[in-house]
């Protein structure tokens, strides 16, 4: 599939480009006050993309989910768990105030766009640590409110038409429209993986915006990644600095305690390891937070299970351990108490 979009680009794939709307028609929209916050719609992990033309497919960006509220020339950025992150991404907020909207509510992902067209969560972490914002891009994929009208009951395809009319189709700038293809999910997914993208998100074209995790939005990942709770760490050995490895776990989905799933000792820069060690030292705890402490626990340093790490790995072992994990960064947009093992579901069920 030549010419398909790379991760982070705004290019429309030649599979079947979405039609560009010349007007901002808002059928079935309801007059309403601009909301203070909207709980975001979340995608369910599946093992394969859905079939049929009832679905549209977007690139899955590797960054932070950010909701943007614009009112009277002022933009406020919200994380998915309702924390004000405007000060973290001032360039994004400034760009949002220049959109031709007196009031609006956008949904998208802030990511770092690399020269090869991919996005990288690690690069985003490094950019924020360095206080730089030059490579940040806000890829916007949904529009929930515009000019005094609630759009959440509109079909997704209608919302995206209005969104494209608002943002424009340029593939440059801080704020960019997240394009999509209609149908051909399997082919689009194969090409996304071939280009080393994180994956794709498939959405029902006729679905309203429904807060929470449902089945109207599905995600398929090329690479295995998991959010994991940090329950402890080991001391560095040899020439390493900061820490040796992080001890990781997930909460039992049925309400149990923290289950140990392995440790990660790669993916850190020296600066990252030092900064992480400083944060972990402030969370030191006298006992293990895991229901069953790992082997070699005598050498571990325990911490309160409050920090969440994003980890890439090759597979889960039969006994529930990570194989070949690599640290990508801290996820500060999700509470540790909500972290469970993410399992693909049968999209047909």
Residue where the block lists tokens 């490094």: 126
- Between CA 67 and CA 82 the distance in angstroms is 9
Per the CB < 8 A criterion, the answer to whether 333 and 81 are in contact is: yes
Strands 322-323 and 315-316: what pairing? antiparallel
Catalytic residue among 20, 60, 187, 263: 60
Alpha helices for the chain (secondary structure H): 90-96, 121-129, 156-167, 185-194, 270-281
Q: Two tokens at 317?
A: 């072992």
Strands 308-313 and 326-330: what pairing? antiparallel
Per the CB < 8 A criterion, the answer to whether 213 and 43 are in contact is: yes
Q: Two tokens at 325?
A: 């994990």
Of 27, 25, 21, 19, nearest in space to 153 by CA: 27
Residue where the block lists tokens 């497919």: 57
Residue where the block lists tokens 């020339």: 73
Whether 60 sits among the annotated catalytic residues: the reply is yes
What angle (nearest 5°) sits at the alpha carbon of residue 339, between those of residues 344 and 143?
75
Catalytic residues: 60
């Amino acid at each position: 599939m030549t010419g398909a979009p790379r991760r982070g680009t705004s290019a429309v794939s030649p599979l079947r480009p979405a039609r560009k709307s010349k007007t901002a028609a808002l059928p079935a929209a309801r007059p309403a006050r601009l909301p203070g916050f909207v709980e975001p719609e979340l995608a369910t992990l599946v093992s394969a993309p859905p079939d049929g033309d009832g679905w549209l497919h977007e690139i899955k960006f590797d960054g932070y989910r950010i909701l943007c509220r614009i009112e009277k020339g002022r933009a406020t950025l919200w994380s998915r768990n309702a924390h004000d992150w405007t000060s973290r991404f001032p360039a994004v907020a400034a760009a949002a105030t220049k959109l031709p909207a007196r009031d609006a509510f956008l949904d998208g992902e802030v990511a770092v766009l690399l020269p090869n067209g991919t996005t990288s969560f690690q690069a985003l972490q490094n950019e924020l640590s360095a206080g730089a914002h030059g490579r940040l891009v806000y890829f916007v994929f949904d529009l929930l409110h515009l000019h005094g009208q609630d759009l959440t009951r509109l079909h997704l395809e209608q919302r995206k038409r209005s969104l494209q009319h608002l943002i424009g189709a340029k593939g440059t700038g801080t704020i960019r429209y997240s394009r999509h293809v209609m149908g051909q999910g399997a082919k689009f997914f194969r090409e996304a993986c071939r280009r080393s993208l994180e994956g794709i998100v498939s959405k029902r074209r006729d679905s309203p915006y429904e807060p929470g995790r449902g089945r109207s939005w599905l995600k398929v990942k090329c690479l295995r990644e998991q959010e994991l709770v940090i329950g402890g760490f080991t001391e560095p050995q040899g020439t390493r600095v900061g820490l040796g490895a992080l001890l990781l776990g997930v909460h039992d989905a049925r309400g149990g305690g923290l289950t140990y799933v392995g440790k990660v000792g790669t993916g850190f820069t020296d600066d990252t390891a030092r900064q992480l060690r400083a944060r972990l030292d402030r969370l030191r705890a006298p006992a293990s937070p895991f229901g069953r402490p790992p082997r070699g626990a005598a050498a571990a340093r325990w911490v309160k299970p409050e920090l969440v790490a994003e980890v890439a790995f090759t597979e889960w072992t039969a006994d529930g351990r990570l194989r070949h994990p690599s640290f990508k960064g801290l996820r500060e947009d999700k509470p540790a108490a909500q972290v469970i093992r993410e399992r693909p579901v049968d999209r047909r069920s």
